[in-house]
Structure 1
Amino acid sequence: MRAILVLLGLALALVGCATARASIHSRDVIVVGVKADQPGLGLRKNGVFQGFEVDVGGYIARSLGASRVTFREVRSDDRELLLNRHAVDLVLASYSITPDRAGLVGFGGPYYVAHQDVMVRRGETRVQSVRDLAGRKMCQASGSVSTERVVVGLSIPARLVPASSYSDCVAKLRSGAVDAISTGDLVLAGFAAPDLRIVNTPFTDERYGVGMRRDDADACEAVNRAITTMYQDGTAGRLLDKWFGKSGLTLVREVPEFEGCS
């Protein structure tokens, strides 16, 4: 009897491991995590998610075989948590691929290479490049690594003012609580308005990746194939024009160089 129970326990453990490691590739329902407060990329309006990353996430999920795609809000500070808790299957949320993040989650893509830039109020003439942020108040969105690239990567002594999100940063910029916001140009373009100005002096590459759980090489490879097809069939170009065509940014329409799947 003991031997039977041991064998049964081993079998259940193996089933549990197989289930935990099962690929999301060909799953009927895929949950995509997107932002809810970033116009152009991911915005929830009247209960419906819309934006470039929402459209790209839907395209990728359907390419993986999903018959139904649902969207869930993620923030910059909870993307890894929601992925690893299986609350979402994929994340497209201006999620720059970095070595630290790649130690926590897996990445497909990137699906777009943006460039970090600076946004100020329209009447601000003293900030003409990232170097001009020295001594000025720069917004620091929770969970974002963009400010680190300025104050650590470039050693520019900006004065950081914390905010819950980039929409909060924009509100602080308008109120005068901060002097500037610095992050990927697609994020900034989504908030573009007559009273705000993008400095248009990019200084980094922001490789926006598709976040997923680690060790799902099948899904990663399928995501990369979907992104390649998305650019080759013209979908990527149409979506970039749809969401950012009026921004004045120079939009990249070639397939990005992928990070590779392990």
Structure 2
Amino acid sequence: MKLRKVTAASAVVLALALSATACGGDKKDNDSGGSGGGGKIKIGIKFDQPGLGLQKPDGTYAGFDVDVATYVAKQLGYSPDKIEWVQTKSADRENALARGDVKFIAATYSITDERKQKVDFAGPYLLAHQDLLVKAGSKIAKGDDLNGKNLCSVTGSTSAQNVQKSIAPKANLRENSGYSECIAALQSGAVDAVTTDDSILAGFAAQDKYKGQFKLAGLKLSNENYGIGVKKGDSATVDKINDALKKMVSDGSWQKAVDANFGPANYKNEPAPTIGNIVK
């Protein structure tokens, strides 16, 4: 009789333990990091950059950065349905990583010495160049032509800083929260030019509603090495992402993503960069 009582008590303890384990397992689905195996991963991208990171009307996402991030996530153990896309605007990228809002960011994130003080980078995975987007009939042909003109860029971008420091210090710089607002201002005549990376500008110019209205000046005002931002000190994730990027280039997936996203805009992209090699 005493033996049966002990056995029954043990069964209750075992049942409670199993129940607690099952409840604890749900936490993994909300994980922003980890190593796959059924959890989810949060990745920062832009939502308003055609050809790079765009949230479409149906709620899906498309663009080169999206394709790169999806490939990398798969190599880390996360299938596309386990990715939660998080909008990360230029001015908030460092904070998003520091807060742990995302595991990594692929959002036209140029690698700079200043940013490397706050975050770590994998890559680069694309070499772009700062350029100008102007109206098709514009006479702006070089950086000096911007002095006295109305120029638009995005708050927190390296492009705006570059213009103020060395390209056209007398330009009337207008900074908006997103490039969509800048493109609309260019179309209306409120600004004379928009400056950022040529890859971003090409994506906007290729949209059906803007076809034939704008042109790239083709100035190559700077080299922009796009990297994948990771929380400072997370060298293990940086190494894993670099391995994934190398594989993406070697198996042809990188070039396929370039052709699919930039081909329609006739964007003359640079060859795939060597991972770890920053072009000054």
TM-score (norm 1): 0.85
Question: Quick check: which has more Rg, 1 or 2?
Answer: 2
Counterpart-to-counterpart distance in 2, 1:103 and 1:25: 24
One-letter code aligned to 2:270:
V
Counterpart-to-counterpart distance in 1, 2:219 and 2:51: 20
Structure 1 unaligned residues grouped into runs of 5+: 1-21
2:106 aligned to which of 92, 115, 118: 92
Aligned partner of residue 189 in structure 1, secondary structure: helix
Superposed displacement of residue 110, structure 1: 0.9
Superposed displacement of residue 24, structure 1: 4.0
1:171 aligns with 2:184: yes
Q: Deviations over 1:145-194 (max 9, x none)?
A: 20211220335421111212111110111111110011111100110131
Counterpart-to-counterpart distance in 2, 1:69 and 1:33: 10
Partner of 1:138: 151
Superposed displacement of residue 259, structure 1: 5.4
Contact 1:33 1:88 in 2 (8 A): yes
1:61 aligns with 2:73: yes
Superposed displacement of residue 253, structure 1: 3.0
Partner of 1:38: 49
- Which deviates more, 153-162 or 44-53? 153-162
Structure 2 unaligned residues grouped into runs of 5+: 1-30, 206-210
Superposed displacement of residue 219, structure 1: 0.7
RMSD, aligned α-carbons: 1.9
1:26 aligns with 2:65: no
Partner of 2:84: 70
TM-score (norm 2): 0.80
Q: Deviations over 1:101-143 (max 9, x none)?
A: 111111111111111111001121x201222112111103112
Superposed displacement of residue 66, structure 1: 2.2
1:111 aligned to which of 118, 121, 125: 125
Counterpart-to-counterpart distance in 1, 2:273 and 2:245: 8
Counterpart-to-counterpart distance in 1, 2:75 and 2:203: 26
2:170 aligned to which of 148, 153, 157: 157
1:25–1:254 CA distance, 2 compared to 1 (3 A): farther
Contact 1:109 1:210 in 2 (8 A): yes
* Greater share of helix: 2
Identical pairs, percent: 38
Superposed displacement of residue 203, structure 1: 2.0
Contact 1:141 1:162 in 2 (8 A): yes
One-letter code aligned to 1:96:
S
Aligned partner of residue 91 in structure 2, secondary structure: coil
Contact 1:25 1:65 in 2 (8 A): no
Contact 1:236 1:253 in 2 (8 A): no
Contact 2:91 2:156 in 1 (8 A): yes
Counterpart-to-counterpart distance in 1, 2:97 and 2:154: 20
Aligned partner of residue 184 in structure 2, secondary structure: helix
Q: Deviations over 1:73-98 (max 9, x none)?
A: 11111111111111111111111111
Contact 1:39 1:191 in 2 (8 A): yes
Counterpart-to-counterpart distance in 2, 1:171 and 1:142: 16
Aligned partner of residue 271 in structure 2, secondary structure: coil
Aligned length: 238
1:223 aligns with 2:223: no
